[in-house]
Amino acid sequence: MRQILRHTGYTTLVLLGAIVQMDSTAIVKSLGIRYADDMTSFLLLFLGVLAASLMVFEVLLIANRWSSKANRSSTILQSPVYNLAIESRNTVIEALRRKLSDTESELNLIKHSFSEIESSVRSLEQERDALKQSNHRLEIKLKKERQKVKSSQSRMKELKKEQNGFRRASEIVNGKLAQELQKSESSQIRMNDLEKERDGLKQVSDRAKRELEQERQKVDDLQKRMMNLEQEMRDSLEMISTDIMNGDTVVLLSTKAWKNRGDNNEIEKWQGLFSKMKNPLLRSQQERPDGDGFVYPRGAEARRVRYLREEKRITVVKICEIYRKHGDNKQYNDGRTKGMEASKYEGVDFSYMLPEKVT
C-alpha cells in the first residue's frame, strides 16, 4: 500500500507539473505572447513524458498485485522505471522553471511597454482634448464666416442690381462718349494738320530768318568792305600821288605771289625790300636781267623778287614772284634757267602795295 501511495505521489507531481505548464501556457497565450517554434516541441515532449508516466503508473499497479509473490524481483524491475520517471519529472520541472523565468522577463517587458503605451495613450487623450477644443473654436469661427458669407452674398446681390443700373447708365454714357470721341478725333486730325502747317510755316520762317540774317551779315560785310576799300582807295590814291610826286616809280604786287610772304616779321622785311625797289638808282645797281623781266637783288641776300618793268611816263614795276630763300628753291632755279615770259603774266591781278598797311 505504501508503494502504491508513493507511485501515486510521483504521478501526482507529474500531473501538477503538466497542469502548471498548461496554465502558464494559457496565461501567456491570453496576453498575446507568441512562443518560438521550440515551445511546440517542448509541449510535445511534455505530453510524451506524461503518457509515459501514465503507462508506468499502470504497469506499477499491475506489478503491485504480483508483489506478494515476487517482491524482490518486482522491486528490482520497478527501481529503474521510477528513477527514469523522477529524472523525467526533474527535467520537466527545470524546463518549466526556465520557461517561467523567461515568462516573467517577458511579463516585465510587457508591463514596461504597457506603461509606455498608457503614457502615450494619456498624451494622445490630451491631444484629442486639445483638438476637440480647437475644433470647437474652429466651428465657432466657421459659423461666423458663414454668417459673413451670407451677408456678403446679400451684399453681392445688391451690388449686382446696382451694377445693372450702372451698366445701363454706362452704355448711355459710352454712346455719348463715342460720339464725343469721333468729334475729338476729327478735331485732333484737324489740329494735327494745323500743327503740321504751323511747323512747316515755322520752318519756312526760320529758314527765311536765317537767310535774312545771312543777307544782313553779307550786307554788313559788304558795307564794311566798301568802307575799307574806300579808305584803302583814298589811302592808295594819296600814296600813289605822293610816290609820283616824290619819284617816278610805282610798285605793283601780284596777289598770288603775295601769298608766299610769310609771317609778320617777313612782311616787314619785304616792305623794306619793296621800298628799295622804288629807288631807280638802288634798283639798277642790284637788278639782273631775267628773260622778259628782271631779278632783284643780287648777292648774298636770300630773298629774291622776279618782276616786269614798264617804262611809261613813270616806271611801273610789276612784282610777279617772290622767294624767301632762293638757294634751294627748285621753282626759282628752273625759272632762272628758262627766263621770265611776259605773256605768262597777262591777265594777272596786280595791286598797289601800301607799305604802312602791310601786316
Handedness of CA 194, 196, 200, 206 (dihedral sign): positive
Write the secondary structure of 204-234 as one string of H (helix), E (strand) and C (coil).
Answer: HHHHHHHHHHHHHHHHHHHHHHHHHHHHHHH
| pLDDT of res. 60 | 67
| pTM, 2 dp | 0.35
Pick the CATH number of 247-357 from 1.10.3470, 1.25.10, 1.10.10, 3.30.2310: 3.30.2310
Strands 293-296 and 249-254: unpaired
pLDDT per 10-residue tile (average), the chain, 359 residues: 54 60 57 52 58 66 63 53 77 84 85 85 88 88 88 85 82 85 85 87 87 89 84 72 70 79 77 82 87 86 84 83 78 81 84 53
Dig out the grid coordinates for 199 from the structure: 511747323
3-state helix, strand, coil in the chain (%, to 5): 75, 10, 15
Angstrom distance (rounded) from CA 337 to CA 290: 9
Residue 70 has φ and ψ, to the nearest 5°, of -135, 70
Angstrom distance (rounded) from CA 176 to CA 96: 108
